[in-house]
Structure 1
Amino acid sequence: MKMKTLIRTLIIMTVLMVAASFYYLPYYVTKPGDAHELSPIVKVEEGYDSKGELMLTTVRMGKANIFAYIVASLSKYEHIYPVDEIRSPHETDEEYNIRQLQLMADSQNNAIEVAYKKAGKPYEFHYKGIYVLGIYPSMPAEDVLKAGDRITKIDDQAFQSSKEFISYVEGKKSGDQVAITFKRNGKTETAEVPLQEFPDMKDKVGLGITLTDDKEIITNPKVKLKTEDIGGPSAGLMFSLEIFDQLTKGDLTKGHDIAGTGTISEDGTVGRIGGIEQKVVAADKAGAEYFLAPDETITKEMKKEYPDLESNYKGAVRTAKDIDTNMKIIPVKSFDEAIDFLQTLKAKKS
């Protein structure tokens, strides 16, 4: 009888544990990810090779079940974030994932533009349309569009930027109908959609979408980036450096293993990213000798609103000291600063 009771108890506990693992809390957990060598990811046609490696760094993130929440709360370099600090208001999981992938695509375009411009190589943009990132609930677009759709025309007019698109829509009034042409899964569709005031912006009318420009960069020589499993814009700096390294003679790495992070804008400015501490940990585990960290400016206004806010560079230095790594943290504000630093490196002895 005692054995039956024990077995029944174990079965119940097992079922409860399995059920708990599938029950997600309204939190995300982040932890150190990996450092990925960029030479297999970035391929410039007939590009030059390097003896060392440039590496992008990642943060692993997922929804928290009770077990992940407990582990993260006890781990120094695992962090817990409420859902509303990760996702935008009204944003679904699917819309969040699509937004991250589009941010990665934008980051790639910026990185390619910056690198080709610096290398003096030709490039041009082909505008593809308005990319739908998300849909506002209870707005007209909710019944027609989905995140990931590409709007190519409105009222049979094509646009060359999202600014032109927004300006056209803002010239209408609530209740006006517009004909939109859009692509979904390779198919072109059309629909009549009424415009409506936004619930939280009574003086503004629209379809009810969040959007961005969808454009393709055409280069000579050609370049391909394989980033299917990576989202977000934080690899922009490292992409631009790897592309430039393959485009030009010489070897930026000088035989060293160099990791880093940071967004990249069209003018080469390096921007702040999230998870700097976790990326430093990932780079150290991968054996990187140097880590390029954004050294963005923290204004007095920002400091007043967020007293504990520090630049990514300071956070990286603090983490490097805490984990007692020999990896050197290098502050960078721009693509040119990163190039200048790499050009000061001495060739690594074999």
Structure 2
Amino acid sequence: MRRRAYWRSFLIAVILLAASSFYYLPYYVTKPGMAKELEPIVDVEGGDKAEGSFMLTTVRMGRANIYSYLLAKWNKYMELYPEDMIRNEGETDQQYNVRQLHMMDDSKNSAIKVAYEKAGRPISFQYLGVYVLGVVEGMPASGVLQQGDEIVQVDNLEFKSSKEFIDYVGAKKAGDKIRLKYVRDEKKKQAVLTLKQFKDDPYKVGIGISLEDYKKPKMKPAVSVNSEQIGGPSAGLMFTLEIYNQLTAGDITKGYDIAGTGTMSEDGTVGPIGGIQQKIVAADRSGAEIFFAPNENGKKSSNYQDAMIAARDIETKMKIVPVDNVDDALEYLKGLKEHE
């Protein structure tokens, strides 16, 4: 009898433990991801191959359950973030992923522009329309447009920037109707929406979307970047260096395995990112010899300073190099001796 009660209690405990792993807390947990070689991802038509490699670094992130929450409290290279620090208000996980993938697309466009300009190659951009980043609940677009839709025409007018779209709609008044043509999942759609005042600004009317320009680069030679499901803008610097290396003669890696991180602005500025210490751990585990970190113009709490703290803690042999712009990285690479 006791034996049967013991096994019943044991079975109940196992079921409760298994069920609790699917109970998510209002937190996200992040930890070191991977360092991924870029040459198989980036392909410049007729581009040079490298002896070394440029690598992007990632952070793994997921919803926190009881166990990952407790583990993150103990592990210095796991971090917890409240939901509202990760997702926008009312944003689902799927919508968050769409936003992150769009940020990656913007990052790639900036990287391509900077790399081609530095290499002296021609590049221009074709404006495709307005990219819908989010939809405001209770406004006309709610229930009609979705995050990721591409608005290509308004009242049969085509625009050259999202600003022109905003100016056109903003010049109308509440109650006016506009006809939209948009693309979703490569299918063309239409909708007629009635403009409405915004609650927080009664003098402003619109359909209730957050938006960005949607454009694609046109250049020679052609380049393709297959970033798959990697999201966010933090690989901008490393994409720039890989594209530039394939565009130009020689191999600027000099045979080294080089990781790094940082956003890329269209003027070549390298911006800060999140999870720098976790990326140092990921790069070290992948055998990187050099790591480029955003310097933020020497700010005391810069990504570079945080990277150095982690580098000393894990006793890595990687050389941590501070960069404020792409020229800093190129100048450093120029001064490298060939790998032995």
For the aligned pair, the TM-score class normalised by the smaller chain equals over 0.9
SS in 1 for 2:322: strand
* CA deviation string 1:59-118 (max 9, x = no partner): 000111111111111101000000001112232222211110000000001100100111
Q: Which amino acid aligns with 1:190?
A: Q
Q: Which residue of 2 aligns with 1:328?
A: 319
Q: Which residue of 1 aligns with 2:36?
A: 36
Unaligned stretches of 5+ in structure 2?
none
* Aligned mates of 2:89, 2:270 — CA distance in 1: 27
Residue pairs, 1:140-179, within 5 angstroms: 140-179=140-179
The change in CA–CA distance for 1:161 and 1:298 in structure 2 (over 3 A counts) is farther
SS in 2 for 1:178: strand
Q: Which amino acid aligns with 1:209?
A: I
* Aligned mates of 1:287, 1:143 — CA distance in 2: 48
> Pairwise CA RMSD of aligned residues?
1.2
- Give 1:18 deviation, angstroms: 2.0
* Aligned mates of 1:61, 1:280 — CA distance in 2: 16
Q: Which residue of 2 aligns with 1:47?
A: 47
Q: Which residue of 2 aligns with 1:88?
A: 88
Matched, 1:122 2:122: yes
- Give 1:238 deviation, angstroms: 0.1
Contact 1:90 1:136 in 2 (8 A): no
Residue pairs, 1:275-294, within 5 angstroms: 275-294=275-294
SS in 1 for 2:141: helix
Q: Which amino acid aligns with 1:233?
A: P
Residue pairs, 1:230-269, within 5 angstroms: 230-269=230-269
Q: Which amino acid aligns with 1:121?
A: R
Q: Which residue of 2 aligns with 1:220?
A: 220
- Give 1:125 deviation, angstroms: 1.0
- Give 1:17 deviation, angstroms: 1.7
Q: Which amino acid aligns with 1:124?
A: S
* Aligned mates of 2:261, 2:102 — CA distance in 1: 18
- Give 1:199 deviation, angstroms: 2.5
Q: Which residue of 1 aligns with 2:329?
A: 338
SS in 2 for 1:143: coil
* Aligned mates of 1:319, 1:245 — CA distance in 2: 29
* CA deviation string 1:141-171 (max 9, x = no partner): 1121011111001111111111111111111
The change in CA–CA distance for 1:166 and 1:266 in structure 2 (over 3 A counts) is same
Q: Which residue of 2 aligns with 1:302?
A: none
Contact 2:57 2:261 in 1 (8 A): yes
Q: Which amino acid aligns with 1:153?
A: Q
* Aligned mates of 1:227, 1:316 — CA distance in 2: 25
Contact 1:131 1:211 in 2 (8 A): yes
Contact 2:32 2:60 in 1 (8 A): yes
Runs of 4+ in 1 over 6 A off after TM superposition: none
SS in 2 for 1:138: coil
Contact 1:42 1:226 in 2 (8 A): yes
* Aligned mates of 1:312, 1:164 — CA distance in 2: 36
Q: Which amino acid aligns with 2:332?
A: F
Q: Which residue of 1 aligns with 2:273?
A: 273
More deviation, 145-154/5-14: 5-14
- Give 1:197 deviation, angstroms: 2.1
Matched, 1:110 2:137: no
More deviation, 73-82/12-21: 12-21
- Give 1:298 deviation, angstroms: 7.3
Q: Which amino acid aligns with 2:286?
A: A
Q: Which residue of 1 aligns with 2:209?
A: 209
Give the TM-score normalised by the residue count of structure 1: 0.95
* Aligned mates of 1:344, 1:63 — CA distance in 2: 43
Q: Which residue of 2 aligns with 1:59?
A: 59
* CA deviation string 1:170-204 (max 9, x = no partner): 11122221111111122111111112222233332
Q: Which residue of 1 aligns with 2:191?
A: 191
Contact 2:101 2:229 in 1 (8 A): no
SS in 1 for 2:288: coil
Contact 2:55 2:260 in 1 (8 A): yes
SS in 2 for 1:246: helix
- Give 1:34 deviation, angstroms: 0.3
* Aligned mates of 2:55, 2:333 — CA distance in 1: 14
Q: Which residue of 1 aligns with 2:11?
A: 11
* Aligned mates of 1:177, 1:298 — CA distance in 2: 51
* Aligned mates of 2:196, 2:228 — CA distance in 1: 36
Q: Which amino acid aligns with 2:337?
A: K
Q: Which amino acid aligns with 1:316?
A: A
